[in-house]
Amino acid sequence: MNTPNRIEHQMTDKGYVPVYTTAVVDQPWDSYTKTDHEVWATLFKRQRELLPGRASKEFLQTQDEMGMGEHAIPKFSDLNAQLKVKTGWEIIAVEGLLPELAFFDHLANRRFPVTWWIRKPEQLDYLAEPDLFHDLFGHVPLLMDPVFADYMEAYGKGGVKAHSLGPEALSQLTRLYWYTVEFGLINTGEGLRIYGAGILSSKGESIHCLESNAPNRIGFDLLRVMNTRYRIDTYQKTYFVIDSYQQLFDATLPDFIPYYEQMAGRESTPAGQVLDSDKVFNRGTGEGWLHDGDV
């Protein structure tokens, strides 16, 4: 079997430019090198030592339940055997970043795309795009949680619809994914905890999002989130806090078309702004913030 392509962003004089692929491939597990497995082990051990007391208990429990460990890069087929029984989801191996519609279609059909390749040793602390560690370690465990799994399917179906409505609706729905699935916090009886994969797979942001006074931590409100810009190149200025995964699922049940109509033409909210209507867990000091580049 030929090893699938490794599709990465390209560096140009304008910075990193994303390169997209739609290919679904077989995980080339036998082609992983000793270095690949060592990178996985280093990252896995580092995050699992850091996350108790920071990550949501559902994340830690489901990751343990799947048998995901540091000894080697997991085989997607082994994880799928459990996922399909528990929630009907499956992992599919992809070569890199997917176009939006292809990504939404996979989610709508309970398929989660996981980049087959893992970052290089010199990229341990930062990579400009999702790789196997981010996708597998950060995203996959919570697909074992039935309510969160339902939310992800509902989000995918909403994404397919938003894609047909135009760029403004798509941008608003993308913000929902960013501030929940990637960078979400959850309020628990033990305090705020992390469930967003972008945080869970990052050593620095796992600490920053909970312990730094710089960012805002604000209660989740659907339209507020969908109208709020974000940063892709630094830690987040604002984190939104849900009460439960059920809250997320319930938020995706209504038809979003009236929401898009309500927000049409409205000026979006800067990433670091706190509104009078917000439920504020922490009003950030803004220390270290960059003042341009929100998307």
Residue 199 near residue 50, CB atoms below 8 Å: no
Residue 82 near residue 140, CB atoms below 8 Å: no
Residue 186 near residue 192, CB atoms below 8 Å: yes
- 3 state SS of 32: coil
Q: What percent of the chain has pLDDT over 70?
A: 99
- pTM metric for this prediction: 0.96
Is residue 294 over pLDDT 90?
Answer: no
**pLDDT at 14 (0 to 100):** 67
- 3 state SS of 223: helix
**pLDDT at 197 (0 to 100):** 98
- Of residues 147 and 233, the one with the higher pLDDT is 147
pLDDT in tens, 20-39: 999 999 999 999 999 999 99
Between helix 34-50 and helix 203-211 the angle, nearest 10°, is 10
Backbone angles phi, psi at 248, to 5 degrees: -65, -50
Calculate mean pLDDT across residues 65-71. Answer: 94
Output the average pLDDT for the chain. Answer: 95
Q: What is the DSSP letter of 110?
A: T
- Give the β-pairing of 185-188 and 191-194: antiparallel
Between helix 146-165 and helix 167-177 the angle, nearest 10°, is 160
**CA distance linking residue 295 with residue 284, whole number of Å:** 20
Assign 128 a pLDDT band (cuts: 50, 70, 90): confident
Is residue 18 over pLDDT 90?
Answer: no
Is residue 289 over pLDDT 60?
Answer: yes
Is residue 74 over pLDDT 90?
Answer: yes
* Residues sharing a CB contact under 8 Å with residue 188, sequence separation 6 or more, in sequence order: 56, 57
pLDDT in tens, 220-250: 999 999 999 998 889 999 999 999 999 999 9
